[in-house]
Structure 1
């Protein structure tokens, strides 16, 4: 058993004073030596953190014992070390930025547990719809799933026409995403747009991999931490992406080492080393090129960190991948 845990979670539950709770939550994480990214919003809580097993257990128990978060669910993965370099607890308007005019506490798609999803996914009357960004599904997705060429969930209304034909078809629409949070709003939005028989994979790809083996998820799942991608399919794994440079099959994803570019790209280990983690020769000649350490993950270099005052960022250094 590995010594660290990575926790992925969210909960829609009103937080009356999010700024005050942000400070309380940040201090809790510091006390438990947790690292990660957490969003506090009036509508709820969303985060991914890593830490030693015992510290993560205390963290989960603390949240579960708060009446506001009693129904919270954690996706728990093992790790050899921290999956993050720092701790960020921020207040934002939404726990997942969507701008969609919906409230998941009022209406959302029918939740399917991983085993229910596994049994339904290959039904001819089922259509799987991926609600993640294009760079996420480029490295891994469910067999036969509908995907959208969108950068973020805010663009979903621009792609509704691509599945408009499913209205009144009698088909079951099952939405899925990494941990389930995007589908809470995406499925609610589909219902509001007149779609029927809308479902969602409860807990997302990660929970499906943990609890049901990840069958028929091709490639790897993109995650927003140092690991970049993780395997979820332990039944019939396959690789669906190719190296941006040489075209060989690979599920290895990096950020381009050029801070001007910073594109999410799949790149084999050999090309990563040969080209310094860059996607083009132009990027390779960027005067501000970041040092490629083999991971392709770049976090902000910060100094003068304080849990109450935040931090100062050293200019011209590594940039952060935002939630």
Structure 2
């Protein structure tokens, strides 16, 4: 049975002139097509995860591909029974992924792109190092077998780890990977800039590897940035690698602590979730500001004054040109 909704994960490094104005235009397009999700518009391109009815998502992809700036965008499409988001955020930011490497243009130089099948064939070779460039909370719930992981809270800390990597692996072939490919574009380019000679990246990331290569040897779940939080990708030899923060049993159920002051993002099993009412500890359970627990451990982010219609000056949808 075909599922009525689609979830799109994509990015595109491309020059966007007057990117802040284009943000308004792009937001109106998403409103027209009833899409929900998070999109970053920058002078260096687009980065988005959205959900919507299949026909609306198909039209969104068609319109972007019709624009010469975005014609090479590679969409990862995941069928779904429901929306993966409850709100729409389209924001302008200096970078489409915060790296601090704004001088790097992946369209000029980056690691060799490997298809999922090529990555699968190379990843276990003796002269190869598989490098996870994601944050610690992401690889804690799932990662490739024998991958090198980094103790970083966010991607902008990646450059600080390169000297350490150089000491151990400079003469190796480095195969980088991330969720959808976007972080690898700059990570692999930076490794080349720092003197690494054989640098590759998994094109389309973990998500595409699951779709096209069965996800073999990806252990655990893949962390995603929507209401699903973590998804299965391995259809060949799946396993669970993460443990409950409270009791230590195997669990890949990622949650946020119900105490907003703590907000710790870790695996907590269902039993401990019920016992602690969504908190990560007895102290957090007794905190006066603890949020009501609905069994999911997922809480919508505050809007922080964000108004999706601000600056449109009552523009009509018919004014949109894509």
The structural deviation recorded for 1:41 is 0.1
Q: Which residue of the partner structure matches residue 10 of structure 1?
A: 11
What is the TM-score normalised by the length of structure 2? 0.93
What SS does the corresponding residue of 1:5 show, helix, strand or coil? strand
Q: Which residue of the partner structure matches residue 203 of structure 2?
A: 202
Counting only pairs closer than 5 Å after superposition, residues 123-272 of structure 1 correspond to structure 2 as 123-166=125-168, 168-169=170-171, 171-272=172-273
The structural deviation recorded for 1:162 is 2.7
Over 3 Å counting, the alpha-carbon distance change for 1:303 and 1:16 in structure 2 is closer
Q: Which residue of the partner structure matches residue 316 of structure 1?
A: none
Over 3 Å counting, the alpha-carbon distance change for 1:183 and 1:261 in structure 2 is same
Counterpart among 86, 99, 110 of residue 108 in structure 1? 110
Over 3 Å counting, the alpha-carbon distance change for 1:304 and 1:90 in structure 2 is closer
CA contact (8 A) 2:89 2:308 kept: no
Superimposed CA distance per residue, residues 101-157 of structure 1 (whole angstroms, 9 cap, x where no aligned partner)? 422122110000111111111111110000000000000000000001001111112
What SS does the corresponding residue of 2:69 show, helix, strand or coil? helix
Q: Which residue of the partner structure matches residue 89 of structure 1?
A: 90
CA contact (8 A) 1:36 1:47 kept: yes
Distance 2:189 2:136 in 1: 21
What is the TM-score normalised by the length of structure 1? 0.92
Over 3 Å counting, the alpha-carbon distance change for 1:163 and 1:301 in structure 2 is closer
Aligned-CA RMSD value: 1.5
Distance 1:286 1:29 in 2: 39
The structural deviation recorded for 1:307 is 3.4
What SS does the corresponding residue of 1:103 show, helix, strand or coil? coil
CA contact (8 A) 1:108 1:188 kept: yes
Q: Which residue of the partner structure matches residue 64 of structure 1?
A: 65
Over 3 Å counting, the alpha-carbon distance change for 1:191 and 1:302 in structure 2 is closer
Over 3 Å counting, the alpha-carbon distance change for 1:34 and 1:149 in structure 2 is same
CA contact (8 A) 1:27 1:307 kept: no
CA contact (8 A) 1:23 1:307 kept: no
The structural deviation recorded for 1:306 is 5.1
How many pairs does the alignment contain?
309
Structure 2 unaligned runs (5+)?
A: 312-322
Distance 1:309 1:60 in 2: 25
Q: Which residue of the partner structure matches residue 295 of structure 2?
A: 294
Distance 2:14 2:128 in 1: 31
Q: Structure 1 stretches (4+) deviating beyond 6 angstroms?
A: none
CA contact (8 A) 1:166 1:195 kept: no
